[in-house]
């Protein structure tokens, strides 16, 4: 049976338990590593020069990154043919499994329409069999809706500053954590410690979430 995802309106949240809302790419999955392997099979190179996606894609021997149209085509193809070939973030499955014994967990991710089932399969395969909501665009409104269904508090985890800022604007009561799973990307990622707590190791992040929600 194919794993399933749900929509925001029908996503069940336990009103009596705290809630962990978590992103996938560079939080649960090492997206850049999997995507890099995929583009190499198609004759391109991924060079981790900046905290970006398409601007890190090159044709071998060239110094100018490929254009947006070519990058978007590779991205779409990846979700058709390579989206299940992602290494999981170290420690993520065990940390969420432990947290899920005392808190609800909802995965809130952005993925293209044609990649939804691929994403659901990857999550289930790697031990992330939690309610999955596929989002498009800023995550603040969706996170606010989910957090509003519990009386026990919520946290939100993402790698991208704009998504963390979106949640801050829509749900200021939700505690926000920035996590970047890929060690190569960590020094390149824009961060705002005055607005969001940055923790890049799941062992440390689990403790911080427990202190925030479960103390």
Residue 4 has pLDDT above 90, yes or no: no
Residue 2 has pLDDT above 70, yes or no: no
| Model confidence pLDDT, tens digit, residues 16-44 | 999 999 999 999 999 999 999 999 999 99
| Model confidence pLDDT, tens digit, residues 107-159 | 999 988 888 899 999 999 999 999 999 999 999 999 999 999 999 999 999 99
| Model confidence pLDDT, tens digit, residues 76-89 | 999 998 889 999 99
Instruction: Enumerate the domain spans of the chain.
Output: 19-30+86-214, 32-81
Q: Give the chain's length.
A: 215
Q: What average pLDDT does the structure give for the chain?
A: 95
Domain 19-30+86-214 has CATH 3.20.20.330: no
Buried (b) or exposed (e) across 23-44, using 16+ Cβ within 10 A?
bbbbbbbbbbbbbbebbeeeeb
Q: Do 162 and 143 touch, CB atoms closer than 8 A?
A: no
pLDDT category at 11 given cuts 50, 70, 90 is very high
Sheet holding 104-110, edge to edge: 132-135, 104-110, 19-22, 154-158, 175-178, 197-198
| Model confidence pLDDT, tens digit, residues 185-204 | 999 999 999 999 999 999 99
Residue 170 has pLDDT above 60, yes or no: yes
pLDDT category at 7 given cuts 50, 70, 90 is confident
C-alpha neighbours within 13 Å on the C-beta side of residue 173: 13
Q: What is the pLDDT of residue 13?
A: 96
Alpha-carbon gap, residue 153 to 173, rounded angstroms? 8
Residue 45 has pLDDT above 60, yes or no: yes
């Amino acid at each position: 049976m194919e794993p399933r995802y749900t929509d925001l309106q029908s996503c069940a949240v336990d009103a009596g338990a705290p809630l962990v809302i978590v992103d996938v790419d560079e939080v649960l999955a090492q997206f850049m590593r999997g995507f890099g392997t995929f583009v190499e099979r198609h004759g391109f190179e991924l060079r981790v020069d900046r905290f970006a996606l398409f601007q890190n894609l090159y044709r071998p021997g060239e110094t100018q990154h490929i254009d947006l149209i070519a990058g978007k085509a590779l991205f779409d193809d990846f979700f058709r043919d390579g989206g299940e070939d992602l290494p999981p973030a170290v420690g993520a499955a065990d940390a969420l499994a432990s947290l899920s014994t005392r808190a609800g967990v909802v995965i809130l991710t952005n993925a293209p329409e044609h990649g939804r089932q691929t994403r659901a399969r990857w999550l289930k395969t790697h031990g992330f069999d939690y309610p999955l909501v596929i989002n498009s665009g800023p995550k603040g409104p969706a996170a606010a809706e989910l957090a509003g269904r519990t009386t026990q508090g919520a946290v939100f985890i993402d790698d991208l500053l704009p998504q963390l800022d979106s949640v801050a604007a829509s749900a200021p009561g939700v505690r926000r954590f920035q996590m970047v799973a890929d060690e190569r990307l960590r020094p390149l990622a824009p961060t705002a410690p005055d607005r969001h707590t940055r923790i890049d190791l799941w062992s440390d992040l689990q403790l911080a979430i427990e202190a925030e929600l479960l103390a």
